[in-house]
């Protein structure tokens, strides 16, 4: 089969690879679309020790089961393959499964014509759902999960909250769109890339600003910050922007460590929450949300052939891509 293989830092190669065959309890999926994730870019930059070349990346997958249980079903994939038996799995917090593995990381991913995964890690999508919507399930579920956790910690109803989103990539933009569909009126979105800033402004009703030209919001003025970047600068901006008693959701993970303002966190009783991926229930809820149009028309999503994947990675790397999400089509 044809696949786009991460062969070395800053290099992905479109080439022939052995076709996978499903083991017992697995399914073989013919890939319809697969999204390029920020974490794929991280791997491409050689900055993810868990993703070692040569490796087929890609975990934002929609396709049809062509072999194994459920043959003929159109599905999206939960990239996390979980054990179903540990305490976390039994509590429905399967994103924290102690024994989890992941597509496009510990095993071959979806930048290929076919991919195999555990039969228990697929979620049905309606046959009529546009591929560009179905392929957004995974990043959209990350936003939905983060907003769900935030809602539990906010004192006022989400719709009445004043929200700052940092980062206009897929997670930040999808979060802004979902917040809008939840009735949130006050959303500011910071993004440094001017192409993405323009695209985000067209796609959602948020007030879009350039963080290089100021904070976009007054200090201590927002109830909720969603940091979809997770860098030293955004963590500092999030802590500065949040109101006393407010909530900061840490979703992105561009830098792994930095000092944060523990004095403000403590004296202003700020809730700082780390959030990782989604549960199976979040993915199911996200398919339903995409189906009812909660994320808008998705006209900002770009689709390219898998054969041109290397150019897509390069364009994303060089910041030449306005689209917050590029999908590849094998």
**Secondary structure class of 116 (helix, strand, coil):** strand
Asked if 104 and 58 touch (Cβ cutoff 8 Å), the reply is yes
**Token pair 């094998």 is at which residue?**
330
Binding mask 76-95 for Zn ion (x = CB under 5 A): ------xx--x--x------
The C-alpha atoms of residue 224 and residue 270 are separated, in whole angstroms, by 10
| Contact window for Zn ion (CB under 5 A) among 121-129, 131-139, 183-191, 279-287 | 131-139
CB of 38 to Zn ion, least distance (A): 7
CB of 48 to Zn ion, least distance (A): 12
Whether the CA torsion 112, 116, 122, 128 is positive or negative: it is positive
Helix orientation angle between 137-153 and 170-181, rounded to the nearest 10 degrees: 60
Task: In the chain, count H helices and then E strands.
Answer: 10, 18
Q: Which two tokens stand for residue 64?
A: 């049809």
CB of 249 or CB of 270, closer to Zn ion: 249
Q: Using the rule CB under 5 A, is 41 a contact of Zn ion? A: no
CB of 29 to Zn ion, least distance (A): 17
H-type helices in the chain, by residue range? Answer: 38-44, 87-90, 131-134, 137-153, 170-181, 194-203, 232-241, 262-267, 280-291, 309-317
Binding mask 16-35 for Zn ion (x = CB under 5 A): --------------------
Q: Using the rule CB under 5 A, is 37 a contact of Zn ion? A: yes
| Contact window for Zn ion (CB under 5 A) among 22-30, 130-138, 280-288, 318-326 | 130-138
CB of 92 or CB of 293, closer to Zn ion: 92
Q: Using the rule CB under 5 A, is 96 a contact of Zn ion? A: no
Q: Which two tokens stand for residue 123?
A: 């979620």
| Contact window for Zn ion (CB under 5 A) among 136-144, 273-281, 306-314, 319-327 | 136-144
The residues facing 11 across adjacent strands are 8
CB of 176 to Zn ion, least distance (A): 17
Q: Among 28, 97, 171, 327, which residue interacts with Zn ion (rule: CB under 5 A)?
A: 97
Contact footprint for Zn ion (CB under 5 A): 37, 82-83, 86, 89, 97, 138
């Amino acid at each position: 089969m044809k696949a786009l293989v991460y062969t070395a830092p800053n290099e992905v190669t479109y080439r022939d690879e052995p076709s996978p065959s499903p083991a017992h309890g697995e399914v073989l999926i013919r890939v319809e679309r697969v999204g390029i994730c920020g974490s794929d870019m991280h791997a491409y930059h050689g900055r993810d020790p868990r993703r070692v070349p040569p490796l087929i990346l890609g975990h934002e997958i929609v396709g049809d089961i062509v072999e194994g249980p459920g043959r003929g079903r159109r599905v999206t994939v939960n990239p996390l393959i979980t054990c179903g038996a540990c305490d976390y799995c039994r509590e429905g917090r399967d994103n924290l499964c102690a024994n989890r593995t992941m597509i496009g990381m510990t095993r071959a991913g979806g930048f290929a014509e076919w991919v195999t995964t555990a039969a228990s890690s697929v979620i049905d999508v309606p046959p009529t759902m546009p591929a560009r919507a179905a392929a957004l399930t995974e990043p959209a579920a990350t936003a939905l999960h983060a907003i769900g956790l935030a809602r539990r910690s906010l004192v006022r109803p989400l719709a009445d909250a004043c929200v700052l989103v940092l980062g206009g990539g897929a997670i930040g933009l999808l979060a802004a769109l979902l917040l809008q569909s939840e009735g949130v009126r006050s959303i500011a979105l910071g993004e440094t890339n001017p192409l993405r800033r323009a695209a985000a402004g067209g796609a959602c009703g948020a007030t879009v600003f350039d963080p290089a030209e100021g904070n976009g919001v007054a200090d201590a003025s927002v109830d909720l910050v969603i940091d979809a970047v997770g860098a030293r600068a955004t963590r500092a901006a999030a802590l500065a922007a949040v109101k006393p008693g407010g909530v900061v959701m840490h979703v992105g993970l561009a830098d792994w460590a930095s000092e944060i303002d523990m004095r403000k966190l403590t004296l202003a009783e700020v809730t700082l929450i780390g959030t990782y991926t989604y549960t199976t229930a979040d993915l199911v809820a996200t398919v339903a949300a995409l189906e009812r149009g909660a994320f808008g028309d998705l006209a900002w999503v770009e689709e390219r052939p898998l054969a041109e994947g290397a150019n897509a990675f390069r364009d994303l790397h060089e910041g030449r891509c306005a689209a917050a999400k590029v999908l590849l089509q094998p």
